[in-house]
Structure 1
């Protein structure tokens, strides 16, 4: 019996110890408003823990006044003197601060974004007028509506001011927007694969074309007898046809206009539509040939063609720089060096598909 009580005492002590050291959050402050603000389990302070999952998502011990603190929504709260976001005190005007039902965060002086330069602190949306700032178009689907806003002077995309006219501006799909006078490219990232990075820009590209607007898919828009897209290396392409009889979506980046296939904004009038296959970095192929940015790569073998970088590819006989053969390059030994943009095959060094002076051996 004595042994039993000793074991029980040890178990209780271990349980209490685990609870003391591991349990960080206690009761929610107001679980009807926020599932992320809690009273600390042991200390007299407020804790922000995303959805209460502090073990996986972490938690933050706030310096908010415990007695007066109340959550505004999941991540915002305030006490008698300050506004808090994710438990951190924010530099805003306390008396006029508000987060409205559309997600706009503002006070009398500024409109704010949660994607500020400093992590976990609000950033100011430069130039935005807090009095007139509002959603661009409430009829947009949710995933687009939260990205587009306007005030009396400008249109804002993901908290960045654009050149768009706020009275007539309209995003058409993921790539193209228009207003009364211009066509705009919507650029979310530049580069491909591991080289991709986010930019979130809306760029004025072209005078507005006359004609009826038809959204082909999330990438292409038909305006009159022209088709436009932004998903190209030039970040805007316009293909004009004598007449457009039909448009057909193949996939997100590919459509067929009349009998011409367009892939990532590049027209491939020679390509076999039925056997078309997109590859990486602007390459594609059909049953007859391999192409780079719309140009056929003469001499490339379809069966063993291999892309080795954004600019280089090879088969069992040749190395290709974009759509041309890199003369004298050995495909079996061709590899990148530690030098910027320099490749070698054990005999020669290459830059932009050309041999550099001086042999390796």
Structure 2
């Protein structure tokens, strides 16, 4: 459960870091902002930037008429006319390849390219394969193949995220997921061997109602939680239920913990973070104290729930919210009276930001991917997008394309009025 929460906090922090850092006078994207007419990267002022020609290239790259910037640092000598982004922290111009703001010595810019999907983890020029930190890898480039996002192979070895999987048999090697793989002799978690696992019977335990998760795995002898044996769990009857829970013929589990839950009378909601029976409610492995079990229900995707008396974030009561007035809209958005609230995880777990948004609570449409619109504006993560009109966002495909632009740092955010 702790891993789940940390992930939520990190994601929401990325979205709202400029606001938390006091850089919200004019948020240009998630990392660049203008405060007192000075461009900032996060909290770092960029005094020498030419504001008239300043242009954001991505979340962490920008340029003006004289320089290319990685964050707030100048990429010394970069050629503005030929400069292009190649990956998250990789770029090139006609003269050099760069990792962050540093020249990647020996790399050939003419033939340098990214290998793989939207977030490439490998790069190549005519001579070498590089990992995402720009480190050359000892891989036979003529035999190089991508098996799955994290896994690559040449004529001798298998690699996970640029690290060799020692002893892997290239002829029988099979990726099972982004984390697990096996060959005829062993099972691997990332690039390490799971010594007790049987490759002939090893499987990832699939949630009954959603896509595969990587929390639980099993073979004919054991059940594993993130690669650790769950003593006493029955592999034959073990299945995952919800996002984080599992059960076998004897018990219900959260991680390796056995929960005191009635196996014949339990309920898990669609998001799968809370579980209850007739007498108690759990949030992960933690009992929710003082709850009215009969009226308790999970609310959406943001670790929220309510009963007839309270609204809950995790196992804590949110005293300021009346449960009778709180309605779930979609994603991290909720309607409270006529106000749209953005209840992303950071706002409920100690981050200083307003819950209220400028969104018209009487005329709104939630489009998915944290995108919502009213008659006048489009919003992402509760913040108004300056350059997008409501009529430009009508379909799921529109939302997907818009979300990619936001993630790439190509759209600006308008400070809330409230």
Whether TM-score is above 0.5 comes out as no
TM-score by length of 2: 0.39
Which is bigger in relative contact order (C-alpha 8 A, separation at least 6)? 2
